[in-house]
A and B are shown apart, each in its own frame.
Chain A
Amino acid sequence: MSVLVYTENWDGKFKKLSFELVSYATGVAKMIGASVTAVSIGRVEETELKKLGNYGAAKIITVNNDGLNVLDNQAYASVISEAALKEHATIIIISNNNSGKAIAPRLSVRLKAGVGSGVSRLPISLNPFTVYKRTYSGNAFAHLVIKSDVKILTLAQNSFDLAETPGNTCTIENLSVAVDGSVIKTSVRDVQKQTGKILLTDADVVVSGGRGMKSPDNWGPLTELASLLGAATACSRPVSDEGWRPHEEHTGQTGKIIAPNLYIAVGISGATQHLAGISSSKYIVAINTDKDAPIFEAAQYGIVGDAMKILPKLVEAVKDLKK
């Protein structure tokens, strides 16, 4: 019996998210007395694969096939389900990121496995198998019972602490699968990648601006503060709708749902829809001229005042800190 975890790679490398997944899988495996098998698709060096062992993976199944260089949801679900059956996996852990959301539901139908999406804690009970999950965009949490024999859990990013398993050893095994042109239905015409930028969903610290920034020309000190803190930049919906900032930066119910350690909301009033995207942040800082803005109810630290005056002072204070 095993807990199977799908660990995606990015150009042959894993990232914090991958290790969170393995840490979580190890936690679940301990609860049910099983071992952890990680599945990796694509070319990843052995030294990189071994890193998954540091977080408790006992076995790593690696699937190398050039046909799988494109994310084809159907083919990926088929490969992972093959590994799950081979390993007699009763629980499958996948990230709740873009590719996880693409694969998990297909895998669910293949294996007739119920899904707990966007979990952030270990299961709250094994019998009945119950997970704690975010619903109503963070306005409520549900106890979800998964009734099927095989269960799939998708883990919210930045929600589970890394836990190393000292002394753990792991084996690596190749799984060959038949993937040819008739299987892969997705063809890629064009790829645009941003490089050298911290991804909003990966960031530990996020500095975000709202309508209170008043103009797209005022973003200088905000991006400077973000860069000094090693933070990603984000924005509220009106800002992206106005085209002041790109859509990819919109955090909120219909934009990105994030859970950084620190979210600094500058000139954001904190409408329910915005809070839906950020309420899982560990710390929220609010900077707003309106002392009655709802963002202060969600925040642990607040400054009532003009962002244009406060941001440059924060930039100076962080610079002083670094001296």
Chain B
Amino acid sequence: MKILVCISNVPDTTTKIRFAEGNASVDVTGIQWVINPWDELSLTRALELKDDAASGVKSVTVVHVGPAAAEPTIRKALAIGADDAIRVNADSSDAYFVAAQIAEVVRKEQFDLIMCGIESSDYNGSLVGGMISEFLGIPSVSAVSGIKIENGQPVMSREIDGGKEVVTVPVPAVAIVQKGIAKEPRIAAMRGIMMARTKPVKLVEPIAVEPLTQVTVFEKPAPRAACKYIDAENPSQLIDLLQNEAKVI
């Protein structure tokens, strides 16, 4: 089984977001770029599966759609343990564009399981994984919080409203993963960092796809009103305010 892990390159989650070009784009000055947190967990789980010989996973490849500036993030994925990487050399215009590129990579390279994080922490779209599967006409399972491989087939635990279901689908398939898929992201060891330098990163030119959406302007969230403090000795006053002022209980 060959696994493809899709990774997005995003600002570190503690970044204070500032805008540039008259609020038309995000100011990238000083931003620390990281692997999207869900993709990092997804990669970790893929590597755990590969470590387990019984799973039959032979290789873990990462794919990224983005410019050369994303190379350090790709190298990090290789340092964590991915066998090789593919970078589609294009700006990630929108989810539709990105998914079309990755679907094309899958068509050419034939992967059995494609893993995507449930969303990226920058655009919060929750779209790319599902779109890839529809471009390819293959099954997708979303909200996956656990995955194992049995007889070459992924067995996944997915979250439903108020519970969980364990489901299987035939491969090739897309698993859209979320919290719980791996306990903690795997950290790159020194040996991994050294090895990552020589691992192959295949460069692929994009296919022509017209994006369907475009961000025109960013705004800061509206500031919240100042906090009203209640005396710790008299917390019942809080209940009174919630009932009579905020009217929420």
Contact = CB atoms under 8 A, between A and B. Distances in A.
Interface of A: 10, 70-74, 77, 96-99, 101-110, 112-118, 130, 133-148, 154, 185-195, 197, 199, 201-202, 204-205, 229, 241, 247-248, 250, 253-255, 261-262, 271-273, 276, 279, 282-283, 285-286, 296-306, 309-310, 313-314, 316-318, 320-321
A202 B72 CA distance: 40
B212 A113 contact: yes
A77 B174 CA distance: 15
Given A74-B133, A147-B213, A317-B239, 16 more contacts: A71-B160, A102-B141, A105-B128, A105-B134, A108-B127, A115-B125, A136-B17, A140-B218, A188-B165, A192-B165, A199-B161, A248-B159, A262-B248, A305-B232, A314-B236, A318-B239
Interface of B: 11, 13-17, 19, 26, 37-38, 41, 94-96, 99, 118, 121-131, 133-135, 137, 139-143, 145, 155, 158-170, 173, 176, 178-180, 183-184, 211-221, 224-225, 227-232, 235-236, 238-243, 246, 248-249
Nearest to A139: B17
B216 A143 contact: yes
Contacts of A286: 227
Contacts, number: 281
B167 A98 contact: no
Contacts of A202: 161
A140 B27 CA distance: 12
Nearest to A248: B159
A313 B170 contact: no
Given A106-B133, A144-B213, A189-B167, A301 B221 contact: no
A109 B96 contact: yes
B126 A74 contact: no
Contacts of B178: 254
B179 to A, nearest CB: 5
Contacts of A255: 179
Contact of A261 (B131, B213, B248): B248
Contact of B230 (A106, A189, A302, A309): A302
Contact of B242 (A103, A250, A283): A283
A192 B164 contact: yes
Contacts of A110: 134
Contact of B38 (A139, A254, A262, A271): A254
